[in-house]
Structure formats: structure tokens, C-alpha cells
């Protein structure tokens, strides 16, 4: 079963920071956000 998708709203400044965290230019924001969540969970 598919999880589906949601739209989230972020400021341009936040989008720029997410862009800087991409491993490659075409990496989806989904992957960037998941990586950040994993790092956060590991540090707790």
C-alpha cells in the first residue's frame, strides 16, 4: 500500500539550506529530509 504524499510549506531560506544538503542536484527533498531525521534519531 502506498503512503501517498503531502505538500509542506517552507521558506525560501529553508529550501536553500535543503538544496545545499543534497548529495547530488537531482536528489529528492524526501531523501534529504529522511537523512536529517535519521541523523537526529541517532544523536538522541
Sequence spans of domains, the chain: 12-43
Instruction: State the pTM of this model.
Output: 0.83
For the record, the C-alpha cell of 8 comes out as 509542506
Give the contacts of 21 (CB within 8 A, at least 6 positions apart): 32, 35, 36
Per-residue pLDDT of the chain (44 residues; tens, 9 = 90+): 578 999 999 999 999 999 999 999 999 999 999 999 999 999 98
What is the C-alpha separation between 11 and 16, in angstroms, rounded? Answer: 9
DSSP secondary structure letter of residue 25: T
Helix segments in the chain, DSSP class H: 12-21, 29-43
**Which position has the grid cell 543534497?**
22
Amino acid at each position: 500500500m502506498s503512503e501517498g504524499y503531502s505538500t509542506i510549506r517552507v521558506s525560501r531560506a529553508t529550501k536553500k539550506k535543503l538544496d545545499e544538503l543534497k548529495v547530488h542536484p537531482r536528489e529528492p527533498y524526501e531523501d534529504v529530509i529522511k537523512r536529517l531525521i535519521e541523523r537526529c534519531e541517532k544523536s538522541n
